[in-house]
A = this chain, B = another copy of it.
């Protein structure tokens, strides 16, 4: 009724979305910073022991789990959230180090299957304690089990929401 109300209405049209509460701001920055800090710690710890970066671990781990049949590069990419050109080059590098190898895909002539080698397995096993211990020290040990569970729930909610892709929303890729 009063002018102020009208102004408020008009403002909210465009500004309401743009305004964040204190909690929202802090939650967002904490998320970004916590993640960055943790990843940084892991990378540093790995480097200290002359071990390759975390991305290598992720790939090796996926290949390890996919043993012995291996994994299409495409699937490897979607599991590790790596773009395909990045997968190509990462696998090439792993291959060069003897940690993985490529194989033609039986059913599909354009597909390539990546396999982990014994050397790759051994490297992954050496990386794991460093990775694992850092995350425990910097992350898990600072929260109770219950808190970890609720963190899982909350963050999972952010991820599992149906995400309308720009342009074409796939029905559901579950």
Contact = CB atoms under 8 A, between A and B. Distances in A.
Instruction: Name A's interface SS.
Output: helix
A166 to B, nearest CB: 7
A34 B31 contact: yes
Contact of A139 (B35, B140, B145, B158): B158
11 contacts: A24-B148, A27-B139, A27-B140, A27-B149, A27-B152, A28-B135, A31-B38, A34-B158, A141-B170, A141-B173, A147-B154
A17 interface: yes
Interface string A134-150: 01111111111101111
Given A27-B152, A31-B34, A143-B154, 8 more contacts: A17-B133, A27-B149, A27-B151, A28-B139, A137-B166, A138-B163, A142-B157, A154-B154
A35 B31 contact: yes
Contacts of A14: 129
